[in-house]
Structure 1
Amino acid sequence: MADLKYYDIILKPVITEKSMDAMGERKYTFLVHPQANKIQIKEAIEKMFEGAKVQRVNTLNKDGKVKRRGSTLGKTAKTKKAIVQLTEDSKDIEFFEGM
């Protein structure tokens, strides 16, 4: 797990109505690598976005759904979401500015 780089940890931002409302409270939601822990997520955010200082990281694990295609059963991939709370003196994440 130590061989993950910061650009491997943060997969993509989550753009939903709920996550866009949370940006007013300086909370940003990202889809992250399922094996990443909170410390790695915090370091990745601070390296990727210059001037961002992370106060808290909350994570949610989501199991894959069972899907059926004809008579065969399978599961979708597991996912992990991270909700990152920035400090008051931190710069905003510019990625979300135009949304």
Structure 2
Amino acid sequence: MNQERIYKVLLGPHISEKATMASENGSVVFRVASDATKPEIKKAVEQLFDVKVEAVRVANRKGKLKRTMRGMGKRSGLRKAYVRLAEGQDIDFQDVE
């Protein structure tokens, strides 16, 4: 996988309360592109952060319909990947440049 595709697959870390609880079990949550597959996500994380990935789970969140002053509007959806790292592996986002 080339470097350009890695940066298009992984859009960034997803920080939330649920993601913080998942990190206690050795998982890391990333926002990913809508066309990214599980093998692509696994390769991207392994190459970019130099860690061993055990499993990848993907969740799609649909955008909500919201009422605006000019009618109905739609928020954009989100695709996130829960990446479980091997035992003893860790990603520190404040250390990565």
TM-score bracket for this pair, using the shorter chain length: 0.7 to 0.9
Q: Find the counterpart in structure 2 of residue 46 from structure 1.
A: 46
TM-score for the superposition, normalised by structure 2: 0.83
The runs of 5 or more residues in structure 2 that have no matched partner are: none
The runs of 5 or more residues in structure 1 that have no matched partner are: none
Q: CA RMSD in A?
A: 1.7
TM-score for the superposition, normalised by structure 1: 0.82
Q: Is the 8 A contact 1:34 1:78 kept in 2?
A: no
Q: Is the 8 A contact 1:63 1:79 kept in 2?
A: yes
Q: What secondary structure, in the 3-state scheme, does the structure 2 residue paired with 1:61 have? A: strand
Q: What secondary structure, in the 3-state scheme, does the structure 2 residue paired with 1:5 have? A: helix
Counterparts of 1:32 and 1:17, CA distance in 2: 18
Aligned length: 92
Counterparts of 1:74 and 1:21, CA distance in 2: 32
Q: Find the counterpart in structure 2 of residue 83 from structure 1.
A: 82
Q: What secondary structure, in the 3-state scheme, does the structure 1 residue paired with 2:79 have? A: strand
Counterparts of 1:17 and 1:62, CA distance in 2: 16
